Amino acid sequence: MGANTPARHSRGAPRPVGTGSPSSLQALFAEGLDRHQKGQLQDAERLYRRVLTGAPRHADCLHLLGLVLHQTGRLERAAEALGKAIAVDGKPSYHLSLGNVLSTQGRLGEAAICYRQVLALSPGDQDARNNLGNMSLALGHLDEAIGCYREVAQINADYPGLQANLAEALRRAGRFEEAIAYFRRALGVEAGSPVLWNRLGNAYAELGRPNEAAGCYRHALELAPGFVDAHNNLGNALGALGRCDEAIASFREALELKPDFADALSNLGNALKVRGDPDEAIACYRRAIALKPDYVEAHYNLANILRDQGQPDAAVECFTKAIALRPDFVDVYVNLGGLLADQKMLDPAIACYDRAVVLAPQLADGHFNRAIALLAKGDLAAGWREYEWRWQMPEMAAVCPRYDQPRWHGEPAAGRTILIHAEQGFGDTLQFCRYAPLAAARGLRVIMSVPTALVRLLHSLPGVDQVIAEGTEPPAFDLHCPMLSLPLALQTTLPTIPCSVPYLRADPGQAAIWGQRLAALPGERRRRVGLVWAGSARNHAPALAAVDRRRSLPPEQLAPLFGMPGLQMFSLQKFGPAAPQAYKLIDVMAEMEDFADTAALIENLDLIISVDTAVAHLAAALGRPVWLLDRFDSCWRWLTDRRDSPWYPTLKLYRQPRPGDWDAVIGELVRDLRHSN
């Protein structure tokens, strides 16, 4: 933001009020004004005070004394002198000068009142209008600031600093394209301004164009190599481009120039976290907070990494501190809610999400996470409604199919054709495809669009007319519905979950072939147990990858199962870490081309022991006994504090008693295997 325009000197002849010779007072005043204009401020002040000794209500002299006091940094006395001048004669220039003093003192609201008074007396005053824009910008009254600058531009488009100030106001208002255009205009006049290049970079960064932003910051640094903010901003742009090491170097350069730069420390922590250096990142956040205890973003960043490092109590403390510093910090409520939900504290988590969506009613993350907590709690009616917010989240909106046909919401539509399209993962499709027969039972002709690996298997669903692979052109249809929106359309609650199994079936011929192959295995018939110990690694999404690590366990932890008599172990693990050869697992998964192949094998197994993966859903949908090894921060579909599942009557849950504790789960599993053998 540009500096306020200085007040104009009053040059009219004095109108002395009080004692003393008018001619001598006029001469003193003229000499004081001359010294003032020559920059001889000490002499000017002395002469003005001599005039005021003889004429204490000399308005112009009071005004000019106020200017001298302002120029020499004596702000309280300056404001006092200007107030006296206004009391004698409320000229617009006097109000303008007082506004400038108040602005320098940081009393921005009072300064704005002065500038408005100038405009009430002199509506065309460009200086007052510009300065009011500056105050509005500093106070965050962006629409008013933009309006002020535009009014000045109508009178004088070349007003000093106007284009840059208008650009900055537009940037802060989120009108980035317009801001960029005005920054470019300003640079046409001041191409050598590193500050303008830095601000242009900020506009590009906020527009999501980090490459252009980085170019602007580099230009600023060519002009001013010691420009600390530009080094810091360049680091952020490089981080957004995935150039983590270069970003770290930029933040370190900023800190070389300014070791107590808390923003750069926090940003360096973010980059180190991405690079996989959590201890260094934590140290950076703590240093930033030590330098700036009220640095809310650093508390927030520290909370997030402490949560990721398995320190929930410390993370809650940091989140709570961030809320105390900024009670309307929406992201804190969302992330604190997620942490509490992971700790199975669902009511406090929902309270956090409630607060988040009150503060930001259109916040998709807040609504979506609230949905997950409600569903985990068993409040399906409210949960399904909130779950529709998933389509407002960028990662879901990007893959949401767009159809001209209307969405089905459960209304009567007998005789019409509906396209039910899969979403999310294999497990979700296997769980929720059960709703297709219910749509068919309402008289709808059902077409399903699902991943290719599920097409053959889902032909076994009763009532489904056609199953096509995702990405292929569907035949004509009248309505459509995303698969995980069917529970909402059909108003599913806990008691009304369609839980009859099997609702999927293996091909009888394939199943018979596998039966013959397994019967031909050497040795006596033993209890056949299928094992899955790891989910698919979703490394494209860090949050999902973290879930994959928590839901999976090293196959070595299954060792106690392999010392048990009467069991014949089969691997159902398609990808992921291989089991030790000493386990002597029977592994035919290389022959499995799709889920129909796997289903045929599973039909010949007596028990499936699996972590939370698609194979568990497949086996349970086939009606086979499933023992599911569940992580502490369980998926919403398994609810809380239950050993059974309302979705799958043949599934039994083995839950971690604390985060990461698979040993307790395996111990319980071994005991149950012994008793059931």
Of the candidates 103, 101, 107, 108, the one whose C-alpha atom is nearest the C-alpha of residue 86 is 101
Domains of the chain and any CATH numbers: 23-241 (1.25.40.10), 330-396 (1.25.40.10), 401-490 (3.40.50), 508-675 (3.40.50.2000)
User: Residue 296 has what pLDDT?
Assistant: 98
311 CB neighbour count, 10 Å cutoff:
15
Query: Which residue type occupies 595?
Result: F
> For residue 502, is the peptide bond before it cis, meaning its omega torsion is within 30 degrees of 0?
yes
Integer Rg of the chain from CA: 36
Q: Which helix (H) or strand (E) holds 531?
A: strand 527-532
Query: Would you say 460 and 504 are in contact if contact means Cβ atoms under 8 Å apart?
Result: yes
User: Residue 21 has what pLDDT?
Assistant: 61
Query: Would you say 51 and 58 are in contact if contact means Cβ atoms under 8 Å apart?
Result: yes
Ramachandran area for residue 140 (φ above 0: left; ψ -120 to 50: alpha; else beta):
left
Of the candidates 265, 181, 250, 176, the one whose C-alpha atom is nearest the C-alpha of residue 217 is 250
Residue 621 is encoded by which pair of tokens?
Answer: 């949908």
Q: Exposure string (b/e) for 378-417, b if CB count within 10 Å is 16 or more?
A: ebbeebbebbebbeeeeebeeeeeeeeeeebeeeebeeeb
Query: Which residue type occupies 238?
Result: L
Query: Would you say 292 and 264 are in contact if contact means Cβ atoms under 8 Å apart?
Result: no
What is each CA distance from 121 to 124, 317, 346, 439, in whole angstroms? 9, 54, 60, 72
Q: Which helix (H) or strand (E) holds 420?
A: strand 417-421
User: Residue 541 has what pLDDT?
Assistant: 63
- Flag residues of the chain having pLDDT under 50: 1-3, 6-7, 10-19
Q: For residue 541, what is the DSSP state?
A: S
270 CB neighbour count, 10 Å cutoff:
23
User: Residue 548 has what pLDDT?
Assistant: 86
Residue 198 is encoded by which pair of tokens?
Answer: 């830095």
Query: Would you say 479 and 408 are in contact if contact means Cβ atoms under 8 Å apart?
Result: yes
**Sheet hosting strand 607-611, strand order edge to edge:** 586-587, 567-571, 527-532, 607-611, 626-630, 651-655
Model pLDDT for residues 89-119, shown as the tens digit of each residue: 999 999 999 999 999 999 999 999 999 999 9
**Mapping DSSP to helix (H, G, I), strand (E, B) and coil, where does residue 508 land?**
helix
Cβ burial, residue 443 (10 Å; 0-12/13-18/19+): exposed
211 CB neighbour count, 10 Å cutoff:
11
pTM for this entry: 0.82
The Cα 353–Cα 364 span in angstroms is: 11
Residue 646 is encoded by which pair of tokens?
Answer: 């309302």
Angle between helices 262-275 and 278-291 (to 10 degrees): 170
Model pLDDT for residues 446-468, shown as the tens digit of each residue: 999 999 999 999 999 999 999 99
